[in-house]
Chain A
Amino acid sequence: MSWIKDIFRRRSIYGDLSEEIRLHIEERTEQFMGDGMSRKEAEQAARRAFGNRTVIEERSREVWHWPALESIWVDVRFALRQLRNSPGFAITVVLSLTLGLGANTTIFTFVNALLLRAPAIADAGHLVEVMEHNAKASGIEAYQPFSYPGYTMIRDHNHTLSGFASFDGDPRTVSWSHDGQGQMVFGQLVSRNFFSVLGVDPNIGRFFADNEDKNGPGQPTVVISYSFWQRQFGGDRSILGRALDLNGAGYTVIGVTPPTFTGILIGSRPDFWTPLAMTPTLIHDPDRMGSDTSYWLLGIGRLKPGISKNEAQADLTVLTRSMNSSNPKEPALDASAFPVQLVPSPFRGYVAAFTGLLMAAVGLVLLIACANATNLVLARATARRRELAVRSALGASRFRIIRQALTESLMLSMLGGAGGLFVAYWSIPALLSFKPATIPVSIEAPLDWRVFAFAFVASLLSGIAFGVIPALRSTRRDLIPGLKDERQLAGPRRSRLRGSIVVAQITVCLVLLISAALCVRSLLNARSIDPGFSTHNIAVAHLDPGSLGYTKAQNQQFYQQLLDRVRALPRVRSASLSDYLLLGTSRLVHDVQIEGVNPPPGQDAIPLQVAYVAPDFFNTMGIPVLNGHEFSSQDTQPGVRKVIINQAMAAHYWPGRNPIGQHFKDEKESVEIVGVVKTGKYRSLGEGPLDFMYLPLGPRSEEFLVVQTRAGEEAALRDIRRVILNLDPNVVPMEMETISQYMALPLFAAHT
């Protein structure tokens, strides 16, 4: 960029030039003196021969100017003076643009974070994410992760990938015991070649050795994330070789990831990674690794040189088809390979639709802001008629005046854009903080160069949008009335223009108001939907002492003590346990057979969603028992086969009859109905009545504690937390919230 250098070199260039010219005249003078002139005559003659020195020097300097830029600078300074002279106008326009551009920049920052940013992986172009794909299904439902045997088969038998890694798509909530207390951290199970396939190098230490998976679990090891290392250990390098107590087992830290690597899926930022071989130890699920019907692993492959994504997909499809042919009940699945992105391809459409809607809404807000600014600028142009007329009369071209006017509006819009960036900078952390801390999702939405570019372009466009019409208008007019300072106000044409801008503004406002009102109404509607349980004075805690290695007996003792102590709290009315909460995200389905009822075509049983609940569950949750009774403590004994069904199921299979005492087969075992409860909402607030069955809860590790409190759920939550801490300080509740906090997610889902 030599012109930049030229700008800085100008002073010396001009100095050289003056000196050179001085020496030239001096030489000429001496020449004339040599011809016999007096010094004075010679000097005058030399100057004459040289010409107008000032003009010549000026013209020589101009060669180094950047005329367009410098006259723009003049415009900018003039515009700044103008705006300083009318601060009220400037502040109004800038503020309204700040709002419009701020909303746009904020939403765009999320679009950028979700759809545009790439994972911090070198050479991501040669990586593919792989899932199984059911060609007969559509949407997200069609995609399925791999089982561990499925993954290893593909890893060992493909011809198109130089490496095939996999990871557990669900981040695991893990209790990290240190200093006598448990703390909730997030971990991810990955294949040992995970980092080498991604091409990520450790910040310090090493990553997992590729061959270790085959040799059994071996010594438990973890790689920790850079931010976890900084946050918890202050970046202490002696962390290498130390052991972390995670879910009751010691894991040696062998490495730290580089600061840029935060995982490859948006939302999941694990604190640590540990090999898949640790699955039984970490999540106490000994069968998962061997099962070919647990689908939980997302695949990541590095393409061999010269292999395209589609070639790899065809190669892997051959393998997935052969894999599933051993199990005739499962449909044959293809392999689907897509680029490694923070939001994987199958989900991008949904994300794009949602964020596109938001962008459209804030785009309308910006439109209003621009219309507003146009009106203000037009009003000001009326006030400045005389000034413009004088400038035209003095010879300013129309283009020059339009350029000046545009400079002014661009200055305003750039100020608005800068304000908008500030708005985004402050509002994004605020928006992100609305997410409950217990949801293991963290979204990084940085203001990177794309956001700055967006803010710049949006400001530029809005500046032109609200500047051009007034600029054209103010220059298309007779000079004479303006010069005469006639106070004749806006003619009919102009009032029509301003009128139509106001009309457009009101229209867009109305559209926005109506859509906002619709959103609020659907939110209120969702709130007014009866979820089938009480939404007041209930506290819930999600616990899993089994993750600390509790035995079955220890689990049972823990929960019994917990229930006893919680029930004894003064703020607590009743307390119970379940393995499921209504409107929860997990789903357990049993096969049932009912005499005289035909199962759906192609199946030999009726699929039915079920949940396990302890005695007093319905009372605590405020779910009315319509017929029969709740489970008693005898019902939870092994061998007793009693169930409670909901009203929808009773009406569906035993219409007009009393279902109490009826028998049917649950998972091929005969069970007896002892109660009928009110139908609730199980999957989403918008669903119709679904059949549902409750079974007595036996001892297990992962449970929800539900507590009905007297007034003040928050205080009750604190009491309950203390009880848990006293029982075992290492048990960390995965979620611990009031029922209204719990309802935030289903409500959010319902009104979007």
Chain B
Amino acid sequence: MPVVNKPMTNSNARDLFPGALEMMILESLRRQPAHGYALVQHIQQRSNNLLQVEEGSLYPALQRLLKAKLVKAEWGVSATNRRVRNYQITPTGLRHLEAEITSFERMFEGIALVLNAGKSTAN
């Protein structure tokens, strides 16, 4: 079973696990500050369009990150000369991201072990 969503029909879509979107936003912002639209583009491109998040679902996540002071936002002008609200990761955000990635990797590893064990006994 895939852990992440495939671009299937909507009925077959699966919610991301809580915190996944935030983690991806933070990871993108670690590479470079961006505004909301650019973040959506970036995440979709990087995931080879495997992940098709609704563009809007980014915003509640961004507000949560803002509230927790993991990112900060500033109005500015983009390279294409548009008025944009640019997000930047804070030092707290960086630390949080490291911790999240570690714990995510361990969880993923655990799930994979269990699934593989099932396969090997079935064989």
Contacts and interface: CB of A to CB of B under 8 A. Distances in A.
A230 B97 CA distance: 65
Given A60-B60, A60-B63, A24 B55 contact: yes
A28 B82 CA distance: 12
A520 interface: no
Interface in B70-90: 73, 75, 82-85
Contact of A51 (B37, B55, B62): B55
The interface size bin for chain A is: 20 to 34
Nearest to A26: B82
Given A16-B73, A63-B64, A64-B63, A21 B37 contact: no
Interface string A16-30: 110111011001100
Given A51-B54, A63-B67, A64-B67, A20 B60 contact: no
A653 interface: no
B60 A28 contact: no
Contacts of B83: 23
Interface string A182-194: 0000000000000
Q: Is the interface of B mostly helix, strand, loop or mixed?
A: helix
Nearest to A54: B56
B17 interface: no
A109 B64 CA distance: 47
B64 A53 contact: no
- Chain B interface size band reads 10 to 19
A52 interface: yes
Contact of A21 (B59, B64, B67): B59
A51 B57 contact: yes
B25 to A, nearest CB: 14
A50 B60 contact: no
Contact of B60 (A6, A13, A19, A63): A63
Interface in A36-79: 49-53, 56-57, 59-64
Interface string A512-549: 00000000000000000000000000000000000000
Given A20-B85, A23-B82, A23-B84, A51 B56 contact: yes
Which of A19, A51, A52, A64 has the most chain B CB atoms closer than 10 A to its own CB? A51
A63 B62 CA distance: 10
Contacts of B73: 16
A13 B63 CA distance: 9
B33 interface: no
Interface in B11-61: 35-37, 54-57, 59-60
B56 A52 contact: yes
A445 B83 CA distance: 63
Interface in A173-229: none
A56 B67 CA distance: 16
A327 B35 CA distance: 93
A53 B73 CA distance: 21
B22 to A, nearest CB: 12
A63 B56 CA distance: 15
Nearest to B41: A31
Contacts of A63: 60, 63-64, 67
Contacts of A53: 56
Chain B CB count within 10 A is highest, among A59, A62, A63, for A63
Interface of B: 35-37, 54-57, 59-60, 62-64, 67, 73, 75, 82-85
Interface of A: 6, 13, 16-17, 19-21, 23-24, 27-28, 49-53, 56-57, 59-64
20 contacts: A6-B67, A16-B85, A20-B59, A21-B36, A21-B56, A21-B59, A23-B37, A23-B83, A23-B85, A24-B36, A28-B55, A50-B54, A50-B56, A51-B57, A52-B56, A53-B56, A56-B59, A59-B60, A60-B62, A63-B64
- The 8 lowest CB-CB distance pairs between A and B, nearest first, are A51-B56, A56-B56, A51-B54, A63-B63, A59-B60, A60-B63, A60-B60, A50-B56
Given A20-B59, A64-B67, 10 more contacts: A19-B85, A20-B85, A23-B84, A24-B36, A24-B55, A50-B55, A51-B54, A56-B57, A60-B59, A63-B67
